[in-house]
Amino acid sequence: MPSELSAQQIDDILQGIQIPAQPQIMADLQMEQAMPDPDLKEIARLISKDVGISGYILKTVNSPFFGTSREILSINQAVVLLGMNTVINLVNTIALRNEMHNDANIPEELQKFLTIYWDSAMDVAAVCMIIAQLLDYRDSEKAYTLGLFHNVGIPMLISRFENYRTIMYASYAADAEKIIDLENQHMNTNHAVLGYYVTKSWKLPKQICDVVALHHNAEEMFSPSANYDDERKTLFCILKMAEHIFGFHEQVAGNKVDLEWEKHKETILGYLSVSEFEYDEIISNCQNKGFGLHLSD
């Protein structure tokens, strides 16, 4: 992703779209996480200051997905039992949604689509975490964050361009080299590059920023000359598998066939050393937890 651009070049890429400010609670938690010995009580205190976020976290951690053995009644308990990173990921989920989906003037039809989109972001994030754990990837929380943020450019483009949904549907239905090609043709920017600037502005790990930028560009990610490391490639593969298992192509983008997955499936499964049988087992595991389409391949 470009790193040495002028202010004018960045403005051209963003097409006048303003990157939303990072929610204060995320900035505060990042500062505490960066401490040599993060204070779990301080993290719980910061979260508890926001009643809405606290309520969402308690509702989520007591859902079947987490399968806790006893009801969690406080943020302190949630942090201790689930771990700092998992709870902070839940904070990121609701903070991101609140920051980017808070315009009361958005038409009802668009509000409905954005609700579907945000639900999909949370589900893809959950599937990323499941896959990461099944593959024994060392940082499943990072995979969750990637799944949550990877398409964050979509609501930004929806708010900026009235015809964006039409372009998005056409992008997923077209057998183009990359899904973002049609966006670039019509808008001179795309949701992946906007997502990159959001994640960079919000100070997420650089590996996440890079994969967000390239999540529709498998050719560059796996190009020998690009020299991306194993962590970025693994996160990329986990994300693409999660998108396919969730069924983003159908449930959000309205296309029955995941053309991008068909094109890169062999590369992705090969890089992860996942056989067809193991892949089917991953799908079954996700479906047993309530996520994903009933895929036959």
Query: Is 9 contained in some domain?
Result: no
Co-location of 203 and 262 in the same domain: yes
Please check whether residues 31 and 127 belong to one and the same domain. Answer: no
Rg of the chain, C-alpha, whole Å? 19
Q: Give percent of the chain with pLDDT exceeding 90.
A: 48
* pLDDT tens digits, 49-64: 988 889 888 888 887 7
Q: Is 72 left (phi over 0), alpha (psi -120 to 50) or beta?
A: beta
Given 100, 124, 144, the domain boundary residue is: 100
190, 269: one domain? yes
Q: Which amino acid is at 103?
A: D
Confidence of residue 276 (pLDDT cuts 50, 70, 90): very high
Do 66 and 132 have their domain in common? no
Task: Say if CB 239 and CB 180 are below 8 A apart.
Answer: no
Half-sphere exposure of 107 (CA within 13 A, CB side): 6
Tokens found for residue 120: 């999909």
In a domain, 13, yes or no: no
User: What is the torsional sign of CA 85, 86, 87, 93?
Assistant: positive
Residues 171 and 235 occupy one common structural domain:
yes
Mean pLDDT of the chain: 87
- DSSP annotation string for 134-163: HTT-S-HHHHHHHHHHTTTHHHHHHHH-TT
- Domain membership flag for residue 142: yes
pLDDT tens digits for range 62-97:
877 777 777 888 999 888 887 888 888 888 888 888
Question: Is residue 135 in some structural domain?
Answer: yes
Range of weakest confidence among 25-34, 88-97, 133-142, 178-187: 88-97
pLDDT at 16: 66
**229 & 176 share domain:** yes
Instruction: Read off the pTM.
Output: 0.86
Nearest to 2 by CA among 171, 216, 200: 200
Where does 94-222 show beta strands of DSSP type E? none
Residue 253 inside a domain? The answer is: yes
- Helix axis angle, 230-246 relative to 108-134, nearest 10°? 120
Instruction: Identify which of 150, 112, 147, 153 has the alpha carbon closest to the alpha carbon of residue 131.
Output: 147
Which range of residues forms the domain containing residue 87? 21-100
Task: Tell me the pLDDT tens digit for each residue of 154-207.
Answer: 988 888 888 899 999 999 998 878 999 999 999 888 999 999 999 998 889 999
Pair (274, 297) in one structural domain: yes
Tell whether 28 and 148 lie within a shared domain: no
Q: Are residues 191 and 72 in the same domain?
A: no
Residues 68 and 134 in one domain: no
Q: Which of 7-11, 21-25, 35-39, 243-247 has the lowest mean pLDDT?
A: 7-11
Tell me if 10 is assigned to some domain.
no
Confidence at residue 10, expressed as pLDDT on a 0 to 100 scale: 59
What CATH number does residue 175 fall under?
Answer: 1.10.3210.10
